[in-house]
Chains A and B, each alone.
Chain A
Amino acid sequence: MFILEKRPTPSRFWLYATPVVAVLLTMIAGGLLFALLGTNPFAVIKTIFWDPIFGEFAFYLRGQLLVKAGPLILIAIGLSLGFRAGIWNIGAEGQYIMGAIVGAGVGLAVYPTESRLIYPVMVIAGALGGWAWAMIPAILKTKFNTNEILVSLMLVYVAQTILAKASTGFLRNPEGAGFPGSRNFSSYKAASNPEFFAGSGLHWGGIAALVAAGLAYVLLQRHIVGFQIKLTGQAPRAAKFHGVSPNRLVMLCMGLSGALAGLAGLFEVTGPAGQISIDFNVGYGFTAIIVAFLGRLNPIGIVLAGFLMALTYVGGEMAATNMGLPAAAIQVFQGMLLFFLLGVDVLTNYRIRLLFRGTR
């Protein structure tokens, strides 16, 4: 019989081994699933993990990895700060939408003025939009002690409704013959976020993601706020004695994660997506939660995890098209990754002991 025994201190080995083991287990279980669906599991796994980086069309797909990983990393970095302090912002998807709407709204308001100042102002507006949306659960938590998980999650649906309203109403392209969707930013130079080099996939969002990861690393390692965040997560009572104000920390972490999600939305709407549309959001805000945990809430880990997640998207699409796999199989595959991650994570804090009958 097996029992779980709590470790005196979390295992450093398992802390870092968990993501690797989870990926391997996902490959095995996913491979079984793909085999059951009548495909060659090795070919599928190779298509997902190898082909986008080294395959025939890697010249295009590598850039696409960056396009996908950018927003995931940017959002996950913000979320990880809160998660470390036990502050659960689950509504990054909504903050992402609101950042895009506010930022895009600023740009569209001055259309068709061409000025170098427009884009920086839009970036700030995007961050503010996400920040303001995150302030709602933050203030409700600090003033009325509501649960930020529920409030932030529910606000995603509110944001989606506003998005629908924006694309069919107040931000709709006046020259779009009544069809929903805003003007396309790709044809409005001052407000667009094109790739730096065609096909590279690198735009301001990718730069922002790397900068955010660097700053978060410095914050956590060198700054008193980073210390407070870590302390609050590990020992809330000790943090209080240390003079950390829980309310201030909630406002800070929610605000930061909201602003970064808003930024991601702004870079996306002015770049790869091109316009505000009803289907603008595709779940980056939710997937970023997986990325944050897969990256062990560590900035460097999150950058790696962001690319890994992007790989499952881009490679997964390839596998679905080329091997005739249902889209749901790829989604199950991605879900397995989080499942195994959380499952194996138990080993960080617990060890498995084997008990034989009669040894007691």
Chain B
Amino acid sequence: MLRRTLLTTAALALGVLGAGMAQAQEKLKACFVYVGPIGDGGWTYQHHQGALAVQEKYGDKVEIQWQESVPEGADAERVLTQMALGGCKIIFTTSFGYMDATNAVAAKFPDVKFEHATGFKRDQPNVSTYNARFYEGRAVEGLIAGRMTKSNKIGYIGSFPIPEVVMGINAYYLNAKKVNPNVEVSVVWAFTWFDPAKEADAAKALIDQGVDVIASHTDSTAPLAEAAKTNGAVIGFGQASDMAEYTDGPRVTSIIDNWAPYYVERVGALLDGTYEQKDTWAGIAGGEVLIGDITEKVPAEVKAEAEKMRDDIAAGTFHPFTGPINKQDGSPWLAEGATAPDGDLLGMNFYVEGIKGDIPK
């Protein structure tokens, strides 16, 4: 009797297990590789929000997996291989430094789709790239910075001197200068995407130089936390995420990376068989870049001006890089009325005229 019960239970358990496995195999596995922890409150947090949106949209049809804090380099290649071996059908690699690893692993797993954020290499037919026009948000930040600064010194915390970041600095400066010709920008390079201590040090260095508006290109809330210590003397922006918890403090608005629509679209395309390799670069118009609420600290007329710029960018009537613009060395880049071609922006390795200092070489 006892034996029979045991056997029945075992059979039942196996049956349940088998059914569970069959079900699990039908699910599409969408996987995400993050450069920082989900709790960074910025870049990685937003990507994870996108992942959760995929889960919510497709429910039982999709299973999501992710790995946090994956170093860019040899470790990324292993994590990607593990994911591909583990049955991931589409893998989103959400940092620039995963570029070579993504393409290398994609070559070994032609049936798995790879989506690399902010990169430009699509060496394999199964690698797509996607990015957002963050420089559009930088222009709005620049306008507010130019209007709000009292010391005429605005700051920018750079992560790495790559075109993506240089583009942001230029857009920020150009649009600040347009409304405030006396403005100067100071850039501090943190050489990290996520390291709250280093980011805070960079913010401190800027504040020590007399900067009173700080924009950052790193992933955490540390620069805002540092600005908060000045009792309102220094303002800043939410970066990558809204960072709304600093609304009562230094945060006057934010650039929000909204990856959810893209992730939902791509996973959806894979589910219904319409998936194709592509390169996507959407901005405010496509809803990938959102401008967070502009707080009361910003005077109503400046707020209106910033919102108009946002709407003009969305409508396509204003481009943050509109000539005449000279390069830092004085040589002409854009003629009167010309707008920057995407190729120039994606390979941007120069400051525009008026910015002091050099891009680290």
Interface of A toward B, CB cutoff 8 Å? 56-57, 60-61, 64, 67, 161, 164-165, 168-169, 172, 177-180, 184, 268, 272-275, 277-280, 282, 314, 317-318, 320-322, 324, 326-328
Contact = CB atoms under 8 A, between A and B. Distances in A.
Given A161-B191, A274-B74, 7 more contacts: A64-B78, A180-B160, A273-B73, A274-B100, A321-B66, A321-B79, A322-B86
A228 to B, nearest CB: 38
Contact of A179 (B39, B67, B77, B162): B162
Contacts of A165: 360
Nearest to A318: B82
A14 to B, nearest CB: 35
A317 B82 contact: yes
B97 A277 contact: yes
B347 A178 contact: yes
Contact of A321 (B77, B86, B347): B86
B44 to A, nearest CB: 10
B277 interface: no
A322 B39 CA distance: 19
B279 interface: no
Contacts of A172: 361
A229 B277 CA distance: 61
Nearest to B346: A177
A274 B77 CA distance: 11
B161 A279 contact: no
A178 B191 contact: no
A303 B303 CA distance: 63
B326 interface: no
A184 B99 CA distance: 12
Contact of B83 (A179, A277, A321, A326): A321
Contacts of B160: 168, 180, 278
Residue with the highest number of chain A CB atoms closer than 10 Å, among B81, B82, B97, B349? B82
B67 A321 contact: yes
Nearest to B36: A327
Contacts of B86: 57, 321-322
Interface of B: 31, 37-39, 65-75, 77-79, 81-83, 85-86, 97, 100, 120, 160-163, 191, 347, 349, 360-361
Nearest to A326: B68
Contacts of A328: 37, 68-69
A64 B77 CA distance: 10
A168 B71 CA distance: 18
A221 B222 CA distance: 52
B38 A326 contact: yes
B85 A320 contact: no
Contact of B68 (A164, A184, A272, A327): A327
Nearest first, the 7 closest Cβ-Cβ pairs linking A and B are A272-B74, A178-B349, A327-B68, A327-B69, A169-B361, A164-B191, A321-B67
Contact of A324 (B66, B75, B347): B66
A177 B73 contact: no
Contacts of B191: 161, 164, 278
A280 B347 contact: no
7 contacts: A172-B361, A177-B120, A277-B73, A280-B73, A314-B78, A321-B86, A326-B38
Given A273-B74, A282-B75, A168 B361 contact: yes
Contacts of A278: 160, 191
B85 to A, nearest CB: 5
B360 A169 contact: yes
Contacts of B73: 273-274, 277, 279-280, 282
Contact of B79 (A56, A180, A272, A317): A317
Residue with the highest number of chain A CB atoms closer than 10 Å, among B38, B73, B75, B86? B73
B69 A180 contact: no
Given A180-B160, A328-B37, A321 B361 contact: no
A60 B85 contact: yes
A272 B70 CA distance: 15
Contacts of B83: 321
